[in-house]
Every structure is written in structure tokens, then in C-alpha cells.
Structure 1
Amino acid sequence: MDILWAWAALIAGLGILVFSADLFVDGAASLARRLGMSPLLIGMIIVGFGTSAPEMLVSALASFENKGGLALGNAYGSNIANIALILGLTALIRPIPVTAEVLRRALPVLMLVTLLAVFQLFDASVSRWEAGVLLAVFIFLMVLSMGKKTGQGEEKVLPATNIRIPQALFRLSLGLGFLIISSQMLVWGAVSIAHAFGISDLIIGLTIVALGTSLPELASSLAAARRGEDAIALGNILGSNLFNTLVVVGVAGLVRPITAGSEILLRDMGLMTGLTASLFLLGYGFRRPGNISRLEGGMLLLVYGGYTAWLLRSALV
């Protein structure tokens, strides 16, 4: 009977997710136009961090219950899914332009933050002091970001809209609320089914929970791509990965110091770092405007498929 409820949660959650994603992106784009903000900046701060709320809730709860593997697997598995799965699918729908602003500012910051996370996990743990460092870095970056003007160069402000700021905020808030609710329904259903098959917490965190809590990013990025809001789609992924690495792991580590197996550093962090570095190569336009093409999106999907198959094989052996 519990399995039937789990499947029902999966199906209902998926339906709500599709509806709320369009509402959320529409509110974010309208707010960007009204405030005269760069679409990339609002994609990173509002959309990216907003859609990472499920990761923070799940990892904090997992840490409280002394399931460090699930907490870290959720955060870093979501980062892998964001780049390899979500950017891959989004690029298949519509090639994603990568501006000079992304290559010069956003990606270097994300790369440095990723390397900091790798360094902290060399002893296979995240202490409360290290968690505090992650949160301090996040606050510092937010102070810098909020002090910036709108993007320059290729990153233009979006055209005007008839939707007023209160309406845009209402759509944004309502969409985000339904995104979080639907993602939690999906995660609960998926974890219940996985536990019935005896799969470990780390593998559940890296696959089912990571994918489930990344569904808001997936839904909002695909919705943004369909609407031609390329900067919001890319900013969503970059902002989400920053939030996952700094805040999701930081909050979980403050709740309880996290201990993890060596495999998360050698296998999962290595892939996450490689995927982050690959964005420089994919986005750099050699004698042409930089973009992530459909072919490159397909390659990212192949990487995610291979990684997931590897995890499932290790779980079933």
C-alpha cells in the first residue's frame, strides 16, 4: 500500500511541477524587467537560489538525522545533475548563449567555490568550522552581487513589461511554493521506493534525491528555454550550484558535522569539478559567439547517463 502512495506522489508531483515552473519563470522574468536587472543576475540570485530551497531542506534534515552521506550526496549530486542533465536537456531544446560576463565572472567564481569544497573534503568530513567558512563565502558573494549594476556588454536588460512588481512577486512566490511542494512529493515517493529495494543513503542522495530536488531547476530551466529567456536558464544553474555548495552543505554542516566515505571525493567530487571546468570549454566561442550547442548538450547527457549507470551498478553489486 505504501508503494502505491509513493507512486501516486511521484505522478502528482510531476504534474504540479510542470504548472509551477512556467509561473515561476514568468514571475522572475517580469521582475527582472521591472527592476531593470540583468537577466543573468536575477537567474542566479532569485531563480537559482529559490529553486535550491528543496536541497537545503532535505540536506539539513538528513544531517540532523545523522545521515551525512545523504546530505552531501544530495548537494553534490544536484550539482552534477544541474550541469550534465539539466543544461544538457536545455541545450537540446535551444542552444544556450554564453556571454563574456559568464566566462569572466560567474564561472571563475563557481570554479573557485568548487575547489574550496574539494579541499574541505580531503579528510572525508565537513566540520562546523568549515561549514561556517562556506556560509561566510556565500554572504560575501551576495554582498558583491547585490551591489552590481545591470549586466554590461552582451548582457542587456530585458524589454519592458505590463506586469507590475506586486504581480510579478506574487507569481514568483506562488510558483516557487508549488515547485518546492511538488519536488518534496517526488522525493518522498522516490526515496520510499528506493528504500524498499535496499539502496544505500549515499547512492539515494546522489541519484534519486539529487535528481528529485533538482526538478525545480530542471522545470524552470526548460520553461525559460522555451520562452527564449536564455540568461535566466543559465543563471539558474550557476546560481543553484553556488547555493548547493556553499549554503546547502554549510547549513547541513552547522546542524551536525558531516563524515563521508572516500568515494565521494574520488568519484563524485572529481566529476563535479570536471563538469564545472568543462563549461569554460563549452562556452568559449572559438571565432564565433559562445554557446552550448545541441551536440554539446547531448554529450552532457551521455556523461550523466554513464555516471548514473555507474552509481546504480555499484549499488546493486
Structure 2
Amino acid sequence: MFEVVTLLLMATAGTAVVWKGSAWLEDAANKLAVAYGLPAVVQGAVIAAVGSSTPELASVLLATLLHGEFELGVGSIVGSAVFNLLVIPGLAVLVGGGIDTTRELVYKESLFYMLAVASLLLTFSLAVIYNPVETVGGPIRGDVSRPLALFPVALYGLYLFTQYLDAAESDEAADASIALARTWFWFVVGLVFIVVGVEALVRAAIGLGDAFGTPSFLWGMTVVAAGSSLPDTFVSLTAAKADRPTVTLANVLGSNTFDLLVAVPVGVLVAGSLPVNFAHIVPMMGFLVLATIVFFAISRTGMQLSRREAWSLLVLYAAFVCWLLLESLRIVSVLEF
């Protein structure tokens, strides 16, 4: 019991450090966007999204390189994506009132994000088909190689190109009054704090998995995912209070797109090749697909997120957490381990 309490305190401390680092990083990222004269959608979908996705990227790299737990990193990415889709818009609506969506967000950002989900699942499927790992009577496994990992990264390059075209057509004026050197300094300091905080979250997830005799990726989908999603929550709720719904939803979708197309493949590109358990990946990605469909349907109806729809998103996330809890207690066994 003492060990579990210690691990939970470690996770809490890591979350606090991530929060502080994210505050510095997000403030610097917003100033940089204004300094370079970027439009609101690009600011939310690229600058703020990449900045707030740093914890997820750090979780994949640290879990893979330091602890040999690639699936923990993938679990944290999927769990964070589910959290971003269901919890952040729900809270943003409850904090700032109903959020109006736009056709650009629904038909560009949302659809590209759906493409990101499909491409990552396809990458894992190709790994099982073309790079199978022989396991006698065990689960289906495959090695994700560097050539396969380049596929989602290339897709993110296409995403950046579309954002570049939007920025090129923008008439936003650059703000020359912002001190770029100082702003970049606090951006880097924020990144360092985030890495330290995420390492504490990863260690806590591995320790909780050992303490309860369950795979660490289950805790990565909850503990690490929720802790690393705080930057996205901070950015989106701040934007909602300031009545900037475009930044709120663009940050959520842009952050998830970056996580799926860059954060996961980067672990593979650094390590060379990494094995995945298809029995774990498919149910995780399956729930992410479900959350994506629900989010898209709700954001499209009436081109607005209402309070009732916000509560629906939060209830669905509660069901997600309950499912993982039942898995950890071995009451259900959709995730075979």
C-alpha cells in the first residue's frame, strides 16, 4: 500500500511539473505565433498543438529509450488522444458556454485527423503482415520498422503543407515588439520541465503496473495520458474563456494529429524497430475510432457543441476509464495480456 501511495505522489508531482513547464511553453508559443503573424487556425493547429504535444512526444521517447516500454508510450498517446477529444471540448463548453464550430475545422482539421487515425492503424497492421514476430501460441506481434514509421511522418508533412498554404494566404501582421530571444528561452525552459515531469509519470505508470500485476500500458493510457494532456487542457480552456473557440478545437485536433503521425513514429525512428502486440493495439485504436466518430458527429450537428453534447463526451470518457479499470481487475479481457 505504501508503494502505491508513493507512486501516486510521484505521478502527482510529475503532473505539477508538466503543468508548470507547459504554462511557460504555451505562453512562449502564443507569443511566437503573434511575432511571426500566423493566423488563428495555424496558431492552434500547429504552434500551440506541437508545443502542447511535447509531453506525449517525451513519453514515447522516454518510455522506449530508457525503459524499453514502447507500448506504454503508444498507450499514453492513444489515451491522451481520447482525453483530448472527449474531456477537453466537454470542459471547454462547460467553462465557456457553447462552442461554435466552423466548416474549416470540421471538414479540414477533423477529416485530416481521421486520416491520421487510419494511417497509424494501417502502419501497425502492415507491421504484423510484413514483419511478423514468431510467437508459439502467443499473441500476434509485428515489428514496426523505420520505413513503415516514415509513412505517417510523410502524411504529417502534407498536413504542414496545407497549413503553410493557409499561412501564406493570411493577412495577419507580425508583431515586431516581441523579444524573440527571450521568448525562445522560456520555450526551451518549458520543454525541459516537461521532460522531467513526464519521466516521473512514466516511472509511476511502470511501478503501478508492477504493483498490480498488470501491463504498464494500461496505466499509460490513464495516468501518463491524463498528466501529459494537461497542456492541451490549459491551452483550450484558456482559449474558451477568452471566447476563441477556433483555437480551442484546432489545438485539440492539431495536437492529436501530431501525436499520432509524429510522436509515435519518432520512437521507432530513434530505436530502429519496435514490436507491437496487435491484441493490445486494435482495441485501443478501436476505442479511439469510436471517440473520433462521436466527436465528429457532435461537432457537425448544428455546427456547435452544446452543454448536453459536452456532457455526452464526458460520460463517454468515464466509460473509457471504467473499461480500463475492469481490464486491470481482469473482470473483462478485451485486451489480452
The alignment's TM-score, normalised by the length of structure 2, stands at 0.79
CA–CA separation in structure 1 for the residues paired with 2:274 and 2:70: 8
**Equivalent of 1:271, from 287, 293, 304?**
287
Aligned residue number for residue 280 of structure 1 = 296
In structure 2, do the counterparts of structure 1 residues 169 and 189 end up closer, same or farther at CA, with 3 Å as the change threshold?
same
Query: Once structures 1 and 2 are overlaid, which stretch shifts more, 29-38 or 164-173?
Result: 164-173
Following TM superposition, by how much is the alpha carbon of 1:161 offset from its aligned partner in structure 2, in angstroms?
9.3
Aligned residue number for residue 116 of structure 1 = 119
For the Cα contact (< 8 Å) 1:91–1:292, is it kept in 2? yes
Following TM superposition, by how much is the alpha carbon of 1:41 offset from its aligned partner in structure 2, in angstroms?
0.9
For the Cα contact (< 8 Å) 1:191–1:208, is it kept in 2? no
The alignment's TM-score, normalised by the length of structure 1, stands at 0.83
**Equivalent of 2:240, from 203, 221, 225?**
225
For the Cα contact (< 8 Å) 2:49–2:252, is it kept in 1? yes
| TM-superposition CA deviations, 1:182-212 (whole Å, max 9, x none) | 3443443454345323231231222222222
**Equivalent of 1:302, from 315, 322, 337?**
315
CA–CA separation in structure 2 for the residues paired with 1:158 and 1:275: 37
Q: CA RMSD in A?
A: 3.0
Query: Once structures 1 and 2 are overlaid, which stretch shifts more, 177-186 or 269-278?
Result: 177-186
Query: Once structures 1 and 2 are overlaid, which stretch shifts more, 22-31 or 297-306?
Result: 22-31
Match status 1:260 vs 2:277: yes
For the Cα contact (< 8 Å) 1:77–1:205, is it kept in 2? yes
For the Cα contact (< 8 Å) 2:15–2:228, is it kept in 1? no
The number of residues matched between the two structures is 310
After the TM superposition, list the runs of 4 or more consecutive aligned residues in structure 1 that deviate by more than 6 angstroms.
158-161
CA–CA separation in structure 1 for the residues paired with 2:81 and 2:173: 28
Following TM superposition, by how much is the alpha carbon of 1:308 offset from its aligned partner in structure 2, in angstroms?
0.9
Specify the code of the residue in structure 1 equivalent to 2:71. G
For the Cα contact (< 8 Å) 2:57–2:259, is it kept in 1? yes
For the Cα contact (< 8 Å) 2:54–2:191, is it kept in 1? no
Structure 1: state its 5+ residue gaps. Answer: none
For the Cα contact (< 8 Å) 2:86–2:295, is it kept in 1? no
Match status 1:71 vs 2:86: no
Specify the code of the residue in structure 1 equivalent to 2:294. S
Structure 2 residue matching 1:37: 3-state secondary structure: coil
CA–CA separation in structure 1 for the residues paired with 2:16 and 2:220: 23
Structure 2 residue matching 1:257: 3-state secondary structure: strand
Following TM superposition, by how much is the alpha carbon of 1:14 offset from its aligned partner in structure 2, in angstroms?
4.0
CA–CA separation in structure 1 for the residues paired with 2:166 and 2:203: 39
Aligned residue number for residue 49 of structure 2 = 48
Structure 2 residue matching 1:36: 3-state secondary structure: coil
CA–CA separation in structure 2 for the residues paired with 1:223 and 1:192: 33
CA–CA separation in structure 2 for the residues paired with 1:175 and 1:63: 22
Structure 2 residue matching 1:258: 3-state secondary structure: strand
Aligned residue number for residue 37 of structure 1 = 38
CA–CA separation in structure 2 for the residues paired with 1:96 and 1:110: 19
Specify the code of the residue in structure 2 equivalent to 1:303. L
Following TM superposition, by how much is the alpha carbon of 1:310 offset from its aligned partner in structure 2, in angstroms?
0.7
**Equivalent of 1:204, from 194, 219, 222?**
219
For the Cα contact (< 8 Å) 2:25–2:51, is it kept in 1? no
Following TM superposition, by how much is the alpha carbon of 1:249 offset from its aligned partner in structure 2, in angstroms?
1.8
Specify the code of the residue in structure 2 equivalent to 1:301. L
**Equivalent of 1:314, from 316, 319, 327?**
327
For the Cα contact (< 8 Å) 1:101–1:151, is it kept in 2? no
Aligned residue number for residue 138 of structure 2 = none
Calculate percent identity across the aligned residue pairs.
26
In structure 2, do the counterparts of structure 1 residues 284 and 227 end up closer, same or farther at CA, with 3 Å as the change threshold?
same
| TM-superposition CA deviations, 1:134-182 (whole Å, max 9, x none) | 2222233223423432677xxx959979644445444444444434433
Aligned residue number for residue 149 of structure 1 = 167
Aligned residue number for residue 105 of structure 2 = 102
CA–CA separation in structure 2 for the residues paired with 1:248 and 1:81: 16
In structure 2, do the counterparts of structure 1 residues 275 and 126 end up closer, same or farther at CA, with 3 Å as the change threshold?
farther
Aligned residue number for residue 29 of structure 2 = 28
Following TM superposition, by how much is the alpha carbon of 1:309 offset from its aligned partner in structure 2, in angstroms?
0.7
Match status 1:195 vs 2:210: yes
Structure 1 residue matching 2:213: 3-state secondary structure: coil
In structure 2, do the counterparts of structure 1 residues 148 and 211 end up closer, same or farther at CA, with 3 Å as the change threshold?
same
Specify the code of the residue in structure 2 equivalent to 1:33. V
